[in-house]
């Protein structure tokens, strides 16, 4: 495969990282506001970053 696919993989990974942070960070932030706590946002961001990396590994690193 040519250079195009590497570039594509890079942007896909970037997309996953962004989505992970937005989705789980967003859920954490919402829980913080709802339950009046302050640790769900951090937890959500870490969870999102971790899951994104796992997803990236599943899609690009497994074989």
The least distance separating another protein from the CB of residue 39, rounded to whole angstroms, comes to: 18
CB contact at 8 A, 56 and 27: no
Q: With binding defined as CB under 8 A, does residue 42 bind another protein?
A: no
Instruction: Decide whether 2 or 35 has the Cβ nearer to another protein.
Output: 2
* Residue among 9 and 36 whose Cβ is closer to another protein: 9
In the complex with another protein, which residue's Cβ is closer, 36 or 61?
61
> Which residues lie closer than 8 Å to 16 by C-beta, 6 or more apart?
52, 55, 56, 59
Q: Answer yes or no: are the C-beta atoms of 44 and 34 closer than 8 Å.
A: no
């Amino acid at each position: 495969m040519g250079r195009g696919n590497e570039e594509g993989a890079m942007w896909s990974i970037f997309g996953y990282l962004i989505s992970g942070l937005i989705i789980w960070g967003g859920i954490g932030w919402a829980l913080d506001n709802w339950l009046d706590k302050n640790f769900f946002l951090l937890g959500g961001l870490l969870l999102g970053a971790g899951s994104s990396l796992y997803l990236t590994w599943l899609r690009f690193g497994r074989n």
